[in-house]
Amino acid sequence: MIVVALAFLVLMALGVPIVLAIGSVAALYVLVAVDVPIVVVAHRFYTGLNNFTLLAIPFFVLSGLLMEAGGLSRRIVDFASALVGWVRGGLLMVAVVASTALAAMSGSGSADAAAVTTVLQAELRKRNYDIDFAAALIAGSATLAQIIPPSLMLVVIAVQNNLSVGALFLAGVLPGLLACALLMLVAYRHALGKPELAAAVEPFSASRVGTTFVAALPAMGMAVLILGGIIGGVMTPTEAAGAAVVYALAIGMLVHRELKPRMLPAILVRAATFSAGLLLLVATANILNWLAATSGDIDRLAAWLGSVLTTKLAFLVAVNVVLMLLGMFVEGIALILLLGSVLVTLAGAFGIDPHQMAVIIVFNCAIGLITPPFGATLFVAAIVAGRPFVAVARRAFMPWLALTIALVALSAFPLLSLGLPRLMGFID
pLDDT at 368 over 50: yes
pLDDT tens-place string over residues 255-275: 888 889 999 999 999 888 878
pLDDT at 199 over 60: no
Lowest mean pLDDT among 175-184, 208-217, 242-251, 377-386: 377-386
Domain ranges of the chain: 53-283+294-423
The overall average pLDDT reported for the chain is 82
Mean pLDDT value of segment 209-218: 89
pLDDT for 182 equals 95
Q: Which among 116-120, 199-203, 290-294 has the top mean pLDDT?
A: 116-120
- Helices and strands in the chain, H and E counts: 21, 0
The answer to whether 189 and 399 have CB atoms below 8 angstroms apart is no
Question: Residue 151: pLDDT band by 50, 70, 90 thresholds?
Answer: confident
pLDDT for 298 equals 62
pLDDT at 253 over 80: yes
Q: Which among 122-126, 156-160, 370-374, 398-402 has the top mean pLDDT?
A: 398-402
Q: Give the residue, 161 or 376, on which the prediction is more confident.
A: 161
pLDDT for 297 equals 64
Question: Residue 5: pLDDT band by 50, 70, 90 thresholds?
Answer: low
pLDDT at 395 over 60: yes
Question: Residue 109: pLDDT band by 50, 70, 90 thresholds?
Answer: low
Contacts of 381 (CB under 8 A, 6+ apart): 113, 114, 117, 135, 136, 138, 139, 142, 392
Lowest mean pLDDT among 24-38, 47-61, 178-192: 24-38
Residue 390: strand, helix, or coil: helix
pLDDT for 200 equals 45
Residues 231-256 as b/e (b if ≥16 CB within 10 A, e otherwise) read: beeebbbbbbbbbbbebbbebbbeeb
Question: Residue 82: pLDDT band by 50, 70, 90 thresholds?
Answer: confident
pLDDT for 102 equals 79
The pLDDT > 70 percentage for the chain reads 90
Q: Residue 296 region, left (φ>0) first, then alpha (ψ -120 to 50), else beta?
A: left
Distances (CA, A) of 252 to 226, 261, 278, 321, 349: 17, 10, 26, 43, 49
Q: Give the residue, 78 or 200, on which the prediction is more confident.
A: 78
Residues 149-173 as b/e (b if ≥16 CB within 10 A, e otherwise) read: bbbbbbbbbbbbbebbbbbbbbbbb
pLDDT for 37 equals 73
- Whether the bond into 373 is cis, omega within 30 of 0: yes
Q: Give the residue, 82 or 177, on which the prediction is more confident.
A: 177
pLDDT for 301 equals 65
